[in-house]
Amino acid sequence: RFLLSETQRRLFEKLVLYCDKSANLIPVSFVLGFYVALVLERWWGQFRAVPAPDGLMVAVAGSVHGADPRGRLLRRTLLRYCGLAALLVLRAVSTPVYKRFPTCDHLVQ
């Protein structure tokens, strides 16, 4: 404030008074409530986007019938693809998972 000229100082003081008057119009708790709601909504959206392979595994086990080797191989292949899809999503979201599986070769191993 001491580096400003006299006109700049008066303009700055007018700006401060205007902001102080405007701050009383909208309470901070009201704005903070919107912010918290937005953050929680984004977090919940990310949480819901992470796949839970359990439901799909139960559906595959219940709908792909056969005790023969072909049925078992088909169920196992579908569940491996489901596990791979879950791993790819978790790798994109979580840094520790990405460090554990940095390349496609690590996924294959």
The answer to whether residues 36 and 56 belong to one domain is no
The answer to whether residues 94 and 67 belong to one domain is yes
The answer to whether residues 45 and 55 belong to one domain is no
The answer to whether residues 84 and 39 belong to one domain is no
Could you report the per-residue pLDDT of 19-74, keeping only the tens digit for each? Answer: 888 777 777 777 788 889 999 999 898 888 777 778 888 888 888 888 889 888 99
The answer to whether residues 22 and 71 belong to one domain is no
The answer to whether residues 43 and 68 belong to one domain is no
Total domains in the fold of the chain: 2
Task: Report the alpha-carbon distance of residue 84 to residue 103 in Å, rounded.
Answer: 13
Q: What angle do CA 64, 70, 71 make, to 5 degrees?
A: 20
The answer to whether residues 13 and 57 belong to one domain is no
Most trustworthy range by pLDDT among 2-6, 16-20, 74-78: 74-78
The answer to whether residues 32 and 81 belong to one domain is no
Could you report the per-residue pLDDT of 71-105, keeping only the tens digit for each? Answer: 889 989 988 888 888 888 888 888 998 999 999 89
pLDDT beyond 70 at 1: no
pLDDT beyond 80 at 6: yes
The answer to whether residues 103 and 67 belong to one domain is yes
Tell me if 9 sits within 8 A of 1, measured CB to CB. yes
- The reported pLDDT for the residue numbered 105 is 92
pTM recorded for the entire structure: 0.52
For 86, the domain range is 51-108
